[in-house]
Amino acid sequence: MRILAPRPENPNPASANVPAPRPSAPPLTQWPGSQIMSDPITARVLFSVWSGDPAVVVPSPPGAGKTRLVALLAAALAHRADLRVGIAAQTREQAVEIARRLGTLTDRAALMWKAKPPKPDSGQTPTVSGQKVRWPGKAGAILIGTTARWLFADPDRVAADVLVVDEAWQCTYADLGALGAMARQVVCVGDPGQIDPVVTGDVSRWDGSDTAPNLPGPIALQAAHGDAVGVVRLRHTWRLGPGTTALIGPLFYPDLPFTSRRPPEHLTDADGVVLPELAHRPVTVCGGPSDPVLVTACAQRARELLDTVLVTAQDQRPMTAADIAVVVPHVSQAAAIRALLSDHPDVLVGTANSLQGLERAAVVVLHPLAGYRTAAPFGLDPGRACVMLSRHRAHMSVVIDDASAAVLAYTEPSTAHATNTALLAALHRTPTV
């Protein structure tokens, strides 16, 4: 636990009884990262780290402000506690986004990047590479990089006081253990309902192990160390509306109840009719996952959403292509939809893996089982479905294969099967568009 240094003794004994003028303390809102204190839950994260907990896990629902929390926590620890804070992101895009956020808060941050151009647009945060990778300044500082970059760093030169792992549920326990050599304290922030880390090697020897090296780091960390790991749960989403929260919360986050604090936001059509937050479009498929019916339905729905109006608490405006995303299970489906929407290149089209962490006002989702006549583990993966169903703010349309319910009915029971069965039934209860 960090203890404030004692005040120096009064050098003039004669004036001991005369109260010294008290300097006016700056308001709390003036120190970088002070916004972390505005919410009791995020303040608990700061207090857990400040108190010296060796490991802190922060589970979060989608859209709860994880990147904001990481940036505020790092800035607060660097400025108020003079700590060296490392941030390990899972992708380059995530690292750059964190660097941009920190650039608006502090001048004590640097982004570790490769020496070869081009350099990323990291805002006001400078990039460092090669032999220049070191802590900026002599006081508290922040270094940002991907997990892979940290694993190749020299611990003697860039060892941190605290290492914050962003999107920690996409970091394997093996990588998390290696990162532990970089700092005395580790903070894992992430979404437990999304896609597990992608591991290409054979991990069958660890089947059934609660601490397997291929498991998400926070899960195995808690299994290995139990109550020694501090846990602070984020309880609100600022992205998802109440309808989506009620849909995905019980299915994908049974141990993390959360509520919606998203400001009012919805779409209206050309006649001024309010579109529902959730809707589905049934299609009949004959040619498997590559059937043109599926990608055509997704592209057509995206075009229809371009003719709507986005209404928020502040104003209203016509929807643009940049406000819309289409999320599909497979790369080939994404390529086909991009071709169909080539006249609207700003529509974001991608797989669940590539769109993880992103959001748009309206999203078209292709159900993971669409086109399949057997339920393979890929299509039943709850994490994939959770990512696909949590990218939107105002509206989501799900394209559903008419035969998917029958496919699930003849599938061997399992936890993933039960989740998908309940999900499909709930989607069928939404309005048809």
**315: region left, alpha or beta (phi > 0 left; psi from -120 to 50 alpha):** beta
118/122 Cα distance (integer angstroms): 12
Average pLDDT, the chain: 91
Which residues touch 29 (CB under 8 Å, ≥6 apart)? 35
CA triple 386-66-88, angle to 5 deg:
105
Q: Do 399 and 297 meet the contact criterion of CB atoms below 8 Å apart?
A: yes
pLDDT given at position 406: 96
What dotted CATH number matches 31-197+210-234?
3.40.50.300
pLDDT at 263 over 90: yes
pLDDT given at position 13: 41
Q: Token match 């780091």: residue?
A: 217
Which residues touch 313 (CB under 8 Å, ≥6 apart)? 263, 264, 265
Which residues touch 6 (CB under 8 Å, ≥6 apart)? none
List, for residues 318-338, the tens digit of each pLDDT value.
Answer: 999 999 999 999 999 999 999
Give the closest residue to 122 by CA, choosing from 83, 152, 149, 92.
92
pLDDT given at position 135: 87
List, for residues 4-49, the tens digit of each pLDDT value.
Answer: 333 344 444 433 344 444 444 444 457 899 999 999 999 999 999 9
What dotted CATH number matches 242-428?
3.40.50.300
DSSP of 281-294, one letter per residue? EEE--SSGGG-HHH
pLDDT given at position 116: 87
Between the CA atoms of 76, 79, 81 and 85, what dihedral angle is there, to the nearest 10 degrees?
70
pLDDT > 90 in the chain, percent = 82
Q: Token match 């964190």: residue?
A: 98
Q: Token match 């597990």: residue?
A: 196
Handedness of CA 286, 288, 291, 297 (dihedral sign): positive
**What's the whole-number mean pLDDT along residues 299-305?**
98
Give me 169's structure tokens. Answer: 């549920």
pLDDT given at position 308: 97
pLDDT at 241 over 70: yes
Per-residue pLDDT band for 189 (boundaries 50, 70, 90) equals very high
Cis omega (within 30 of 0) for bond into 21 = no
pLDDT given at position 396: 98
pLDDT > 70 in the chain, percent = 93
Give the closest residue to 216 by CA, choosing from 228, 241, 203, 198.
198
Domains 31-197+210-234 and 242-428 share a fold: yes
List, for residues 108-163, the tens digit of each pLDDT value.
Answer: 999 999 988 888 999 999 999 887 788 877 789 999 999 999 998 888 889 999 99
- Of 87-91, 128-132, 150-154, 267-271, where does mean pLDDT reach its minimum? 128-132
pLDDT given at position 29: 54
List, for residues 202-236, the tens digit of each pLDDT value.
Answer: 888 999 999 999 999 999 999 999 989 999 999 99
pLDDT given at position 149: 93
DSSP at 32: T
**What's the whole-number mean pLDDT along residues 367-375?**
96
Q: Where are the domains of the chain?
A: 31-197+210-234, 242-428
